[in-house]
Amino acid sequence: MKKKLATTLAIWAFHGLSVKALATEMIWNGSIDADGTRTFSSIHEAETNQEINLGAHVKFDDKVSLDLGITSNNGSVPNGGGQVDERWSDIRFNGVSLNIQFTENVTAHAGDLVYTEGAFRYFEYHSTGLFAAAFPDSHLRGASLSWNELNVAAGISDISSHITNSYLSYTLHIKSAAIKPYSYLQISDSYDTLHFVGGFAFDGHWNKNSLTGNMSYHQEKWSDPTFTFLFEPHLEREALSMDVTAFYAHLPKRAATIAVPDHWFTYIEPQMQLHPWFRLGVSSEIHQYTNAAGTLFRSLLMAHVTPHEQVELRVFGGPSKLQAERYWLIGGELQAQF
């Protein structure tokens, strides 16, 4: 009788735990960005680069949830830094954060947080882990509070345990546009490291046309004021569309560090929709780099294959000229979000 009662209690306990576990909802999400490129000139070079992120959103109830992620990357996505024999990269833990929603308008986050401003649409600089007109992905382990459109965060930087990162932003919505003033401060305990970025981002949509922009101010402890400007319109009319990027950095003699290798550059790509899944474009771009590399001229034939709104395969190829060297670049890139 005692065995039967113990077995019954064990079955009911297991059933209760199972129901509780099933009540916890887990949603997987992620992104894939992988490419391969080859140049043809006096020296042939081939590269493979990838950035793969996998995350899980664990929902305990309507108020409490948990986000965690892992990442695998190699090289610079796309086009630069990787090597063919280094394609197999390690998988690394990418942080965990606890989310608590106190009210409909107030949410707190604690754990590993990431902030970036000035993301590019331009295909070669779209990885925010490396490039941004304001600042690229900046990680901190700390806490943040969101109240309506106001976001405040502070914590320990992943660069050093003696450096603190803080972030502040507010998003103002005006009809179909959004303007977001923001500030980012990185400072060390001894105040010998100081990096401040402030500015505002703009995002406007009118039917299928849109304009994103960013204007930012950069200041380091020993630098002079440095400014960056980014404008990226997207225009559509029936089967025709056009992507444009215009970036300029005002760099004084003692310039602050910016996450773009260009002093200025322009990019324009008119496109034609030939099939619901297929667009064909021709791009032209000019880059004036901040280092001794000089000026890059490039024109690429771009084929965009989009079998789903969250999946795009881009194949490109064309001539380039950097200083006196002429070469051909061909490659392809796969982007997907899920």
The residue whose two tokens read 């608590």 is 100
Question: Residue 27: which of 66, 53, 71 has the closest Cα?
Answer: 66
Asked if residue 124 lies in contact with residue 111, where contact means CB atoms within 8 angstroms, the answer is no
Q: Distance between CA atoms of 292 and 169, rounded to whole angstroms?
A: 36
Enclosing H/E stretch for 6: helix 2-23
Of the candidates 155, 158, 176, the residue with the CA atom closest to the CA atom of residue 167: 155
Query: pLDDT value at position 295?
Result: 93
Query: What residues does 5 pair with on adjacent strands?
Result: none
Q: Is the peptide bond before 78 cis (omega within 30 degrees of 0)?
A: yes
The residues with which 51 forms a beta bridge, in sequence order, are: 33, 73
**How far is residue 69's CA from residue 56's CA, in Å, rounded to a whole number?**
6
pLDDT in tens, the chain (338 residues): 455 555 554 555 545 545 455 557 889 999 999 988 888 887 678 888 888 999 999 999 999 999 999 998 876 555 455 666 666 778 888 899 999 999 999 999 999 999 999 999 999 998 898 899 999 999 999 999 999 999 999 999 887 778 899 999 999 999 999 999 999 999 987 777 789 999 999 999 999 999 999 999 999 999 999 999 999 999 999 999 999 999 999 999 999 999 999 999 999 999 999 999 999 999 999 999 998 778 999 999 999 999 999 999 999 999 999 888 899 999 999 999 99
**How far apart are alpha carbons 123 and 298 in whole angstroms?**
14
Decide if 299 contacts 284 (C-beta within 8 A). Answer: yes
Nearest C-alpha neighbor of 198 from the set 162, 227, 158: 227
Could you read off the pLDDT of 46-103 as tens digits, one per residue? 888 888 999 999 999 999 999 999 998 876 555 455 666 666 778 888 899 999 999 9
- Residue 21: what pLDDT? 53
189: exposed, middle or buried (C-beta count within 10 Å: 0-12, 13-18, 19+)? exposed
Burial 293-311 (b: 16+ CB within 10 A, else e): eeebebebebbbebeeeee
Give the whole-angstrom CA distance, residue 322 versus residue 120: 22
Instruction: Find tokens 């002429």 and name the residue.
Output: 326
Cα separation, 238 vs 59, whole angstroms: 42
- On whether the CB atoms of residues 235 and 269 are closer than 8 A, the answer is no
| Domain range list for the chain | 261-266+274-338
